[in-house]
Amino acid sequence: MSQTSEKFMIIDGNALLHRAWHAIPQTMKAPNGVVTNAAYGFMMIFLKAIREIKPSAIAVCFDSKGKTFRDKLYKEYKAHREKKPRELYDQIPIIQELLDAFNIPYFQKTGVEADDLIGTLVKESRVKNKETKNIIVTGDMDTLQLVDSATSVYTLKKGVTKTVVYGPKEVRERYGGLFPEQLVDFKALRGDPSDNIPGARGIGEKTAIDLMRAFGSIDALYKQLDQTGEADIL
């Protein structure tokens, strides 16, 4: 990754926590018997990212406990996911204690997810200094919608050691030529199986990409439908 004067590294705490939980054996325990595999893996990724990115500022974001505003909007949101064991979430205070030791600020707000806090921090960073390079460290592809010339996503490709960096070019390559700012509308059409959110009936990934490439946005697609009654993507 190229060197710049200002780099703001924003870490998705829960995404890294879950990745580490599945990548490292749960037999790893502290002398008192507490499972520490996720905390250990989190710190592996954290230190690797610092070495490679060399940030001038760091922040970590965590999901809030309990329901979020999305659960109120759609009661089936993430309803298909298995409840994770207590031993996983018991490691969050351990991670936060380690972050305190590094003097790294972390954020958690009732009713919202880490993604929301990450988006807010990126927006505030853009306003404060347009020259700052924002690097989001996560395993969650939802944050690709934030990518632009000043914001990239450093994501885990496999386990806790293989990583890949997404800029605008890499996002377009992954999503059939779509720009990062089109991903929200793309997912609205296709749905998001990982979050148990259905898309438009009869529209899969390929059709959603074709529609977005042809019309640019859902608003433009609806405008075409209102005018002609059909949406030609040939």
Give me the pLDDT at residue 101, please. Answer: 97
Domains within the chain, CATH numbers bracketed: 7-174 (3.40.50.1010), 181-228 (1.10.150.20)
Number of neighbouring beta carbons within 10 Å of residue 127: 8
Give me the pLDDT at residue 124, please. Answer: 96
Give me the pLDDT at residue 161, please. Answer: 72
Give me the pLDDT at residue 2, please. Answer: 45
Name the stretches of the chain with pLDDT < 70: 1-5, 71, 74, 76-81, 159, 228-234
Identity of the amino acid at 229: G
Give me the pLDDT at residue 225, please. Answer: 80
Give me the pLDDT at residue 196, please. Answer: 79
What does each C-alpha distance from 231 to 102, 217, 220, 221, 224 come to in angstroms? Answer: 54, 12, 10, 7, 6
- pTM over 0.75? The answer is yes
Give me the pLDDT at residue 68, please. Answer: 75
Give me the pLDDT at residue 151, please. Answer: 97
CA-CA distance, 190 to 212, in Å (whole number)?
Answer: 11
CA-CA distance, 163 to 156, in Å (whole number)?
Answer: 4
Give me the pLDDT at residue 48, please. Answer: 95
CA-CA distance, 86 to 17, in Å (whole number)?
Answer: 13
Contact indicator for 58, 11 with CB cutoff of 8 Å? yes
Give me the pLDDT at residue 159, please. Answer: 67
The token pair that represents 232 in the structure block? 């030609």
Give me the pLDDT at residue 230, please. Answer: 61
Give me the pLDDT at residue 81, please. Answer: 64
Nearest residue to 156 via CA among 54, 48, 68: 48
CA-CA distance, 52 to 24, in Å (whole number)?
Answer: 22
